[in-house]
Amino acid sequence: MSSGLMSYVWEGLGNTLLLTVFGALLGLVFAFIAGLGRSSERTWVRGIAMVYTEIFRGFPSLVLLFALIFIVPTFGYQLNPLFAGILALALNIGAYAAEVVRGAVKAVPPGQIEAAIALNFTPWQRLRKVVLPQAVVAMIPPFTNNLIELLKATSLVSLVYISDLTFSAQLIRASTGETALVFFGLLVGYGVIALFFTAIMKLLERMAARSLGRTVPSGLFGRKEVAA
């Protein structure tokens, strides 16, 4: 492949990683706000959080992206396309991950919160020092799924001319005519990136488990946790 075509690959890879990483970070913020909001004692907070998760889980990411790029400008703003891509992906994945946050917080045994009350922790300290450190451990495996979903969804941005990996593949295919080879290479590329993110998440999972005095068997596909 010529160095001109290789530069497409690097640009595409860079943008795909950028969309995935920043989409995930922003999505995480939405997920925690909405997930904790849905666990709130206040009805109106729960209401807003529920509306967000229900609505944005229902929107296809692609339609959301089109909306951000083509509707928002009618209100006088022009979003940077890459930022619009990150925002659309984050809003969508955040709504899914919010359910993960809510479920993990709910799964912390009530006895833990009661012990924290008995030790006179403030409501904030109960959340920060007792509930979240335990809930986060349970969030990581489902977050891994969310992250891979997000990675796959990033390919949609090629439809609004953001030069991600899929868009670059289209350019290379157009200039070389090697359709089968290029798409095969693209599949391999996404597969390798997915393995890379899964390995990182696996590492986080083991670190989190260790913070609770548990160990996770090594190996990329080891799932079951056992007592130390």
Partner 1 sequence: MSEPYSSPSSDVMIQFDRVVKKFGDHVVLRELDFSVKPGEFVTLIGPSGSGKTTILRLLMTLETADDGTIQVGGEYLSHMERGGKLVPADERHLRNQRKRIGMVFQQFNLFPNMKVLQNVTEAPVRALGLSKAEAEQRARELLEMVGLSDKIDAHPMQLSGGQQQRVAIARALAMRPQVLLLDEVTSALDPELVAGVLAVLKEIARTTDITFLCVTHEMQFAQDVSDRVMMFDQGQVIEDAPPEQLFTQPAHERTRSFLHAVIDRAV
Residues that bind partner 1 (CB under 8 A): 109, 111-112, 114-123, 125, 129-130, 133-134, 211-214, 227-228
Cβ nearer to partner 1, comparing 129 with 223: 129
What gap in Å lies between CA 225 and CA 212, rounded to an integer? Answer: 11
Q: Please give the structure tokens belonging to residue 53.
A: 């998760």
Nearest distance in Å: CB 10, partner 1:
42
Nearest distance in Å: CB 117, partner 1:
6
Nearest distance in Å: CB 64, partner 1:
36
Q: Nearest-CA neighbor of 100 among 153, 145, 55, 59?
A: 145
Q: Please give the helix or strand (H or E) that residue 227 lies within, else none.
A: strand 226-227
Cβ nearer to partner 1, comparing 51 with 107: 107
Cβ nearer to partner 1, comparing 119 with 181: 119
Cβ nearer to partner 1, comparing 111 with 177: 111
Q: Nearest-CA neighbor of 22 among 124, 101, 103, 93?
A: 93
Could you give the C-alpha distances from 84 to 22, 160, 161, 174, 192, in angstroms and in order?
A: 12, 10, 12, 26, 26
What gap in Å lies between CA 218 and CA 209, rounded to an integer? Answer: 12
Strand partners, 215: 226
Nearest distance in Å: CB 213, partner 1:
2
Nearest distance in Å: CB 32, partner 1:
17
Cβ nearer to partner 1, comparing 123 with 222: 123
Task: Write the DSSP assignment of 7-24 as a string of letters.
Answer: HHHHHHHHHHHHHHHHHH
